Amino acid sequence: MITNYIVKREEKTKIVIADNAIRNLYEILNEKSHTNYVIFSDTTTYKLFGEEVKKSLEKLDKPVISYVIEPGEKNKTLSSVEKLISFMIKSNCDRKTALIGLGGGVICDMATFAAGIFYRGINCMLIPTTLLAQVDASIGGKGGVNIGEYKNLVGVIKQPNVVIIDPTTLEKLPKVQITSGMAEIIKMAIAFDKKFFSYLANVKTLNMDVLRKSIEICVTLKMKIIEKDPLEKTHVRTAVNFGHSLGHAIEIISGIPHGFAVAIGMVYAMEVSRKITGLSKKDMELAISVLQKYNLPTTISGLTKENIVEHMKKDKKNFGGNARLVLLESIGHLRVVDKIDKKIIEESLHKVLI
């Protein structure tokens, strides 16, 4: 007997964007079914917000425990997730435990992954505290870890039950992290929303109001994409990876912040686009000028072409060695292109390598 069954997986995710939301978690969650709460965070983030989050959760009258790791991309590993899960087992967590990721993209990615595999899936709540995590990493349900130099190679797609974005947490964030997050914001504008791009191009001073508005627009844009293609089965979701093929390679080789690497990756993708989709020089220069306006790098020195090409091959999106890139047709319009000529892939690197 051969029968094809279609099993649909519907997931709901509630996203709250509000100043001081971390102090009112009990009101937002208002959920009685959990056995306990595990706050998963890194030392820097926990020092800043851990106690406040804990106090706010304790009002739900369930035990709240914490597991804290050292910050940094180098800790985004299977072994860190295994240690977190061992801690949860020792602490008598069960299927009704809720895991709460409190931190930047590294913590959000690992919390999503751990929640996806512990008992084959428990409730997960994310409280992103970096700009990058608030506009991107906490949205869309991708969780995972790096395997050696292979970024995010192992993971899950599992929508968080709740995402709580409290823009006031950004007041503590170092400027370099704000700049890094701006790259993902500008990415969404260049890729999907010309009007938002013009807004960013005309901003006089980058203040909290600009950040609040940008967070709301980016979350809405990304969730509309996720609703259409939650599991990245089509090119719809792949498009949010604009700038990331080269970006990931640069991030791994040079160690510069994610957003900085993505900014350089976008310039590279635009250079390839000039040759393949006919992106205009005017749009490319406009996009570069906005990246520079927000102090993002658009070139990088000290890296060799060979090293980069080798790393780009490791990108899991380059299926079976076929170079796949998200290209720009014009500001606000993307196209995903497969099997790009190797010569174009390599030659275009000159635009960003100095």
Ligand X SMILES: NC(=O)c1ccc[n+]([C@@H]2O[C@H](COP(=O)([O-])OP(=O)(O)OC[C@H]3O[C@@H](n4cnc5c(N)ncnc54)[C@H](O)[C@@H]3O)[C@@H](O)[C@H]2O)c1
Which residues of this protein are in contact with ligand X, per CB under 6 A?
42, 44-45, 48, 71-73, 76, 103-107, 109, 129-130, 132-133, 136-137, 140, 142, 152, 169, 172-173, 177, 180, 258
The bridge status of strand 333-337 relative to strand 325-330 is antiparallel
Amino acid (one-letter) located at 28: I
Q: Give the nearest distance from C-beta 202 to ligand X in angstroms.
A: 26
Q: Which two tokens stand for residue 199?
A: 């807004």
227 or 285: whose CB is closer to ligand X? 227
Task: Please state whether 20 falls in left (phi above 0), alpha (psi between -120 and 50) or beta.
Answer: left
243 or 284: whose CB is closer to ligand X? 243
Beta bridge partners of 337: 325
Q: Give the nearest distance from C-beta 6 to ligand X in angstroms.
A: 26
106 or 190: whose CB is closer to ligand X? 106
34 or 76: whose CB is closer to ligand X? 76
Q: Give the nearest distance from C-beta 139 to ligand X in angstroms.
A: 7
Which residue bears the tokens 């967590």? Answer: 93
Q: How many CB atoms lie within 10 A of CB 294?
A: 18
Distance CA 143, CA 131 (A): 17
Of 245, 262, 251, 256, residue with least CA distance to 319: 245
Residue nearest ligand X, Cβ-based: 105
Specify whether the CB–CB gap between 92 and 124 falls below 8 A: no
60 or 157: whose CB is closer to ligand X? 157
Q: Give the nearest distance from C-beta 119 to ligand X in angstroms.
A: 22
Which residue bears the tokens 């995903």? Answer: 336
Q: Give the nearest distance from C-beta 171 to ligand X in angstroms.
A: 8
Distance CA 54, CA 65 (A): 8
107 or 308: whose CB is closer to ligand X? 107
34 or 187: whose CB is closer to ligand X? 187
Q: Give the nearest distance from C-beta 55 to ligand X in angstroms.
A: 18
Distance CA 286, CA 229 (A): 30
Distance CA 13, CA 140 (A): 9
The bridge status of strand 150-157 relative to strand 142-147 is antiparallel
Q: Which two tokens stand for residue 316?
A: 């899991």
127 or 345: whose CB is closer to ligand X? 127
Helices of type H across 194-320: 194-202, 208-228, 235-238, 244-254, 258-276, 281-293, 305-313
Q: Give the nearest distance from C-beta 29 to ligand X in angstroms.
A: 21
Q: Give the nearest distance from C-beta 163 to ligand X in angstroms.
A: 12
